[in-house]
Amino acid sequence: MRRVGEIQEIILVDDGCSDATPLMAAQAGVTVMPSGGRLGPGGARNAAAAAARGEVLWFIDADAVVHADAARILSAALADNDVVAVFGAYDDQPSESGFWSQYKNLVHHHYHRDSSREAETFWAGCGAIRKTAFFEVGGFDQARYAQPSIEDIELGWRLRQRGWRIRLEPAIQATHLKKWELGNLLRTEIFFRALPWSRLIHGRTGLPDALNVSRTERCRAMLAMALLASLTISPPWISVAMLALAMVANRGLMAVFARRRGMAFAVAAFLFHQVYYWYSSSAFVWAWIEHRWAIARKAIADGLQRAPFAESERFGNLQRPALIPTSEKE
């Protein structure tokens, strides 16, 4: 891409790399920037953005390989001057063949492929932002998100707060190289995705109708919770009916699973996806409780602070008895 002039430069931030990647990148003509410490993805991207010479900042995760036509499609998407950011999707052929890697990447591919092109958020795994807009909103919040989390989602929210357009272009694709296992998938999904995103929704953004928090996805999540309830309190036929209804509601995702890995994988992945809805919904409710409790504590604290002043004001308004001179008494 650089050789044919599609991109101006490549910057790699060495944020504590333990292998030979920085050396190999430098030998290939890539600008390597040592971070000087562990900045995290948001801080590393901010450092690269500050050093970049171009007008568009294209962020690509270290475990993603973009397709050969990605730069051309990205440039075409940004030809619309009203669009300040654009992001793509993982393709449907992740490099790792294990169940959890296939499941996680195919779900991501499906959500980005089937969502509205007018996005309410941003994805930094393979996404670009106009440099002026990036710095106008302050870049990634590296203080709040020191570890890989929802720093890109939060940045997208700030861009949308300015009224700027963000475009989802699923034709901009990248192959994901990450290996997922059940343990790191659950840890990442719950503690670095579902909980922080739910807190962001309750505290600042509200619920956007986009990606995996769209209205359709909320309905599917409610179906999954109803299925869970039916397994414990209902006759078996109700559980079977709820399961069939959930499969119909998720038929698009199941088709992606079946096309790539066969029907047995599709059924197993669908069943785990109901578990995904359970823990994501639980995280959303937990964050709501946290948010309401924080509001209640603040109200109580404010009330206690105002109480002494209220008492003082109440007694201060009482009329004091007049002092009668001695001569008048007599």
The C-alpha atoms of residue 76 and residue 95 are separated, in whole angstroms, by 28
Q: How far apart are CA 16 and CA 207, in angstroms?
A: 36
Q: Is residue 55 part of a domain?
A: yes
> Sign of the C-alpha dihedral, residues 157, 198, 245, 187?
positive
Is 209 inside a domain boundary?
no
* pLDDT, mean over the chain: 90
What is the total count of domains within the chain?
A: 2
Q: What is the SS3 assignment for 15-63? A: CCCCCCHHHHHHHCCCEEEECCCCCHHHHHHHHHHHHCCCCEEEEECCC
62 shares its domain with 154: yes
Question: Which pLDDT band holds residue 6 (cuts at 50, 70, 90)?
Answer: confident
Asked if residue 99 belongs to a domain, the reply is yes
Domain for residue 38, yes or no? yes
Q: Which of the listed residues 181, 196, 225 is the one where a domain comes to its end?
A: 181
Is the confidence at residue 167, as pLDDT, over 80? yes
Task: List CB contacts of 160: < 8 A, sequence separation 6 or more.
Answer: 120, 121, 166
pLDDT tens digits, 71-130 = 999 999 999 999 999 999 999 999 999 999 999 999 999 999 999 999 999 999 999 999
108 and 250 together in one domain: no
Asked whether residue 52 carries a pLDDT value surpassing 60, the answer given is yes
Are residues 153 and 36 part of one domain? Answer: yes
Residue 80 shares a structural domain with residue 7: yes
The one-letter code for the residue type at 116 is S
- Shared domain for 166 and 267, answered yes or no, is no
Question: Which CATH number is 161's domain given?
Answer: 3.90.550.10
Co-location of 26 and 93 in the same domain: yes
- Predicted local distance difference test score (pLDDT) of residue 232: 83
Examine the domain organization and report whether 5 and 101 are in the same domain. Answer: yes
**Is the same domain home to 125 and 252?**
no
Res 304: pLDDT: 77
Residues 242 and 101 in one domain: no
> Based on the domain organization, do 173 and 236 belong to the same domain?
no
Is residue 98 assigned to a domain? yes
Is 208 a residue whose pLDDT tops 70?
yes
**Under 8 Å between Cβ of 96 and 180:** yes
pLDDT digits (tens, 9 = 90+) for 269-303: 999 999 999 999 999 999 999 999 999 988 888 87
Q: Quick check: is 155 in a domain?
A: yes
Considering the domain architecture, whether residues 177 and 218 belong to the same structural domain is answered as no
Q: Across the strands, what pairs with 12? A: 32
Q: Is 187 within a domain?
A: no
Q: Are residues 261 and 167 in the same domain?
A: no
Task: Examine the pLDDT at 319 and tell me if it is beyond 70.
Answer: no
Which range marks the domain in which residue 160 is found? 1-181
Half-sphere exposure of 10 (CA within 13 A, CB side): 17
Structural domain contains residue 330? no
Q: What is the mean pLDDT of residues 211-234?
A: 89
